[in-house]
Amino acid sequence: MPRKINHLDTSQEKGSTPMARHKTNAAPETVISIIAPGMLVGGDCETEGTLKVEGSVEGSIRAGKAVAVGEAGRVIGDITTQDAVIAGQVIGNLMIGSRLELQGTSHIEGEVYALRIQVEEGAVLNGPVYTGETDASASRDEGGSGSQEEQLPIDAGSWHQPMAGAPKR
């Protein structure tokens, strides 16, 4: 009986599979994982690199480098990472070690902790925002003796109130 030969398989090991032989030299922090449109992940996600969410995640996300939530992306859970760009919906707390960008299509329901934040016109942000070095980031630093900024929550409702002593129209 003729023997079938897989011309793509260069391995001579019996029982070896192509996936078992696959090795990557990419550093974990350079790998981008994608949750595609129409995909639902139920449970926590963790990566040393970057996670891009175009579908839905019902669970917390921890990424060593960055998280990007696309316009159609939805996360119900906390996000912890160094940098984040949000264009979709997040219902949960954001703990960002460095920079957070909220694009005009984003909708956030939860507390935000970030060293720096950029909010585009049209973004919806419902929850307190803490910027600068936080107690959590200070305790991670060696010695924890960095300058500490006073953390004040932003109340979006007060933006529509006239200031005391402001002239009436």
Q: What is the pLDDT of residues 22-54, one digit of tens each?
A: 455 666 657 899 999 999 999 999 999 999 999
pLDDT higher than threshold 70 for residue 125: yes
Domain with 121, as residue range(s), is: 27-139
Q: Is residue 82 part of a domain?
A: yes
Query: Does some domain include residue 158?
Result: no
What local confidence, expressed as pLDDT, does residue 23 receive?
52
Write down the pLDDT at residue 31: 80
Predicted local confidence at residue 146, as pLDDT: 41
On whether residue 3 sits in a domain, the answer given is no
Residues 6+ apart with CB under 8 A from 87: 68, 69, 70, 71, 73, 103, 105, 106
Q: Against a cut of 0.75, is the pTM above it? A: no
Q: Are 92 and 73 in contact (CB under 8 A)?
A: no
> Quick check: is 162 in a domain?
no
For β-strands 32-35 and 129-131, DSSP reports them as unpaired
Residue 84 within a domain: yes
Cβ distance 121 to 101 under 8 Å? no
- Per-residue pLDDT tens over the stretch 127-169: 999 998 755 444 444 444 443 444 444 444 433 344 444 444 4
Q: What is the pLDDT of residues 48-100, one digit of tens each?
A: 999 999 999 999 999 999 999 999 999 999 999 999 999 999 999 999 999 99
From the CB of residue 83, how many other CB atoms can be counted at a distance below 10 Å?
19
Q: How many domains does the chain have?
A: 1
Q: Per the domain annotation, does 48 fall within a domain?
A: yes
Going by C-alpha positions, the residue among 82, 89, 80, 129 that lies closest to residue 108 is 89
Residue 92 is predicted with a pLDDT of 98
Residues ≥6 apart with Cβ < 8 Å to 133: 115, 146, 147, 148, 149
- Supply the pLDDT for residue 27: 65
The per-residue pLDDT for 54 is 97
CA-wise closest residue to 134 among 116, 120, 118: 116
pLDDT band, residue 114 (cuts 50/70/90):
very high
Q: Is residue 31 part of a domain?
A: yes
In a domain, 165, yes or no: no
> What pLDDT is recorded for position 120?
97
